[in-house]
Amino acid sequence: MVTYDTHTLQADCESCFGLCCVALPFAASSDFAIDKNAGQACPNLQSDFRCGVHTTLRDRGFRGCTVYDCFGAGQHVSQYTYAGRDWHQHPETAKTIFDVFPIMRQLHELLWYLAEALRLPATSAIHAELQAALDETARLTRLSPGEILHLNVAAHRADVNVLLLRTGELVREAAMRQHKIPPIRNKKIGRGADLIGANLKGADLRTANLRGAFLIAADLRQADLRWADLIGVDFRDADLRGANLADSLFLTQFQLNAAKGDAATKLPSYLARPSHWSGSVTGH
């Protein structure tokens, strides 16, 4: 039986070969100052795989770099899959290591969700299934580079998603019973909803199913998102100042990094308050 804590599934850039700075493409936009192709090293990447402008990324137009999170896939590929053999000193590994990294990132994201689901008392009825899915996902991360490149990750994600959907249902049902939360009547609020720029200030969104919803630039100040299913929610530029996300479900660092918040935003204890948030303080 495999177990994961939040530390294991957090990015450790010191143990990574700068994979996100090379493997991933980006286009000149509000998030990136330049165009870069997949497999092309960012000009800010130094020979020691550290970013030469890390402390001024946002000022230089590289906001996207401060948002990205790999769920620990970078150090796993660097130190486990390739056993510390970096692509710079071993250029013959470059093509495959850059192709393996985004696949590993998907697997680590699934590990994050499954590990969270297993921590929740409301999911006790499906713990065995969740554990089996986590064990299988962990097994896939230990495959050789060649085997990883031939994985059908989409099929595996689909299988895991069935359990994550059930997790969301169980958590929301338990919270509604325990806290006597009435169902959300607003039909615009739901799975995959288009809530771009929506005014949801102070909204009671407890137990909302917001899977895959678009909350880009939405006003969520002082909103209550406890026990809301937030898997896949697009929080880019959403205003979370003073919002309560302390018991929200499937929230990730990536989502928080893309949003706006402050010292009054309530977060799960295992997530970090982004340093670029207004009035940011150490802790949660």
284 pLDDT exceeds 60?
Answer: no
Query: What is the C-alpha end-to-end distance of the chain, expressed in Å?
Result: 31
- The model's pTM is 0.94
Q: What is the pLDDT of residues 118-141, one digit of tens each?
A: 999 999 999 999 999 999 999 999
**Measuring CA to CA, which residue among 86, 112, 89, 108 is closest to residue 98?**
86
CA neighbours closer than 13 Å in the CB half-sphere of residue 259: 31
CA-derived radius of gyration, the chain:
19
Q: What is the pLDDT of residues 67-112, one digit of tens each?
A: 999 999 999 999 999 999 999 999 999 999 999 999 999 999 999 9
Domains (range + CATH), the chain: 13-24+68-173 (no CATH), 184-284 (2.160.20.80)
